[in-house]
Amino acid sequence: MTKSKVKILLLYTGGTIGMVKDFKTGSLKTFNFKNLLDRIPELQLLDCKIDTVSLKTPIDSSNMKPKYWLQIAEIIESNYSKFDGFVVLHGSDTMSYSASMLSFMLENLAKPVIFTGSQLPIGDLRTDAKENLITSIQVASMQKKGKPVIKEVCLYFEYKLYRGNRTTKLNAEHFQAFVSSNYPDLAESGVHLKINDEYLFKPNLRKFFKVNKNLDENIAIIKLFPGIKKEVLESVVNILNLKAIIIETFGTGNCTTEKWFIDLLRQAILKGIYIINITQCTGGSVMMGHYETSSELKKIGVISGKDMTTESAVAKLMYLLGQNISHNTFKIKYEMSLRGELS
């Protein structure tokens, strides 16, 4: 009996990767993904069966919002048992946000979900799309003893496989557009595809796959800068129905010690608003209490985002706010690793 082929679902959400140049007008437009196999004949050489599906209206990822995350999650949910792995084609601009969000929405995921895209359209002569797409499909197809090797949401770009919720888009021009400063690469593609097994996420396989669909967008981010005025923080804290604020602080989670600043945060916390401390630095972690300039934050009950990226901090916040949990549980869950998003 011949071994049945691994089945991969390719989900096109939009972005540069899926665009081709219209020879008449010269402008970039999306092409029909049903004809993907004709466009990239190399895909037929892969030892897997590929089906394609597209969002109803593919988008530039700068228009990403919870409504589309829900569509992506629901497509994966309704195809979960039929496929061995999923590759999500996505614009690079907000890919790290989406990969982070899907990691929280897809609970007890036991199959690979690989986000990828490209800096140049797939129809461009110098495109980076083909390598990104082909290797993503290969990574999603990898099996050991009939089970997927990768069991988490990843991002593949320019020869590297990253844990999705650890990535940040760092460069708007280079093919190497993403970075994972606080977590090692999961795999590197060279002559061989080298998987770093010790860093892969190991889910509890006894738990059932479940999709969390309730996301709460009532959040805000404030990036601190020297000279920030009271009115700025005041206006954010007073936003109607606001449930949480991420403060992007300096270094290891430090901020001004001016009284008005701490007072406003304290009042917000007393009103029930969660305040999350995330560092502006691309690498390293928040350590509240390490300097005098962060001790006060710890005392008033600010939650530590530790070494999470801002993208992950946003995703985790929308996800946990949608969970209807007590303030205590919220703080405990936010500060612990749920999907390998923090160290």
- Pick the stretch among 8-16, 146-154, 159-167, 307-315 that binds ligand ASP (CB under 6 A): 8-16
**DSSP summary character for residue 256:** -
Is the Cβ of residue 80 or residue 159 nearer to ligand ASP in the bound state?
159
The DSSP line for 157-199 is ETTEEEEGGG-EE--SSSS--EE-TTS--SEEESSSEEE-GGG
Task: Kindly tell me the sign of the dihedral angle through the C-alpha atoms of 286, 288, 290, 291.
Answer: positive
Give, as ranges, the residues between 73 and 92 that touch ligand ASP (CB under 6 A).
91-92
Minimum Å gap between C-beta 299 and ligand ASP is 41
Q: Which of 2, 13, 16, 30 is catalytic?
A: 16
Check residue 136 for interaction with ligand ASP (CB under 6 A).
no
Check residue 93 for interaction with ligand ASP (CB under 6 A).
yes
Check residue 112 for interaction with ligand ASP (CB under 6 A).
no
Minimum Å gap between C-beta 172 and ligand ASP is 9
- Pick the stretch among 56-64, 68-76, 124-132, 300-308 that binds ligand ASP (CB under 6 A): 56-64
Minimum Å gap between C-beta 63 and ligand ASP is 8
Check residue 171 for interaction with ligand ASP (CB under 6 A).
no
Instruction: Report the residue from 37, 60, 228, 323 that binds ligand ASP according to the rule CB under 6 A.
Output: 60
The DSSP bridge pattern shows strands 193-195 and 187-189 to be: antiparallel
Q: Return the bridge partners of 6, or none.
A: 48
- Give me the phi and psi of 49, to 5 degrees please: -100, 125
Instruction: Report the residue from 15, 112, 148, 305 that binds ligand ASP according to the rule CB under 6 A.
Output: 15
Other beta carbons within 10 angstroms of residue 29's beta carbon come to 12
Check residue 13 for interaction with ligand ASP (CB under 6 A).
no
- Pick the stretch among 55-63, 142-150, 191-199, 206-214 that binds ligand ASP (CB under 6 A): 55-63
- Pick the stretch among 9-17, 191-199, 266-274, 288-296 that binds ligand ASP (CB under 6 A): 9-17
Minimum Å gap between C-beta 55 and ligand ASP is 12
| Structure-token match 């009042």, residue found | 267
Is the Cβ of residue 154 or residue 342 nearer to ligand ASP in the bound state?
154
Instruction: Report the residue from 85, 117, 164, 253 that binds ligand ASP according to the rule CB under 6 A.
Output: 117
With beta carbons less than 8 A apart as the criterion, state whether 69 and 215 touch: yes
Q: Return the bridge partners of 154, or none.
A: 114, 163
Q: How far apart are CA 271 and CA 269, in angstroms?
A: 5
Q: Return the bridge partners of 87, or none.
A: 10, 114
Q: How far apart are CA 7 and CA 4, in angstroms?
A: 9
Is the Cβ of residue 119 or residue 249 nearer to ligand ASP in the bound state?
119
Q: How far apart are CA 256 and CA 271, in angstroms?
A: 22
Task: Kindly tell me the sign of the dihedral angle through the C-alpha atoms of 98, 100, 101, 104.
Answer: positive
Check residue 168 for interaction with ligand ASP (CB under 6 A).
no
Q: How far apart are CA 17 and CA 158, in angstroms?
A: 13
**Is 310 labeled as catalytic in the residue annotation?**
no
Is the Cβ of residue 61 or residue 136 nearer to ligand ASP in the bound state?
61
The two tokens of residue 233 are 């923080």
Candidates 50, 48, 47; CA nearest to 39 is 50
Check residue 16 for interaction with ligand ASP (CB under 6 A).
yes
Q: Which chain residues interact with ligand ASP by CB under 6 A? A: 14-16, 60-62, 91-93, 117, 119
Active-site positions?
16
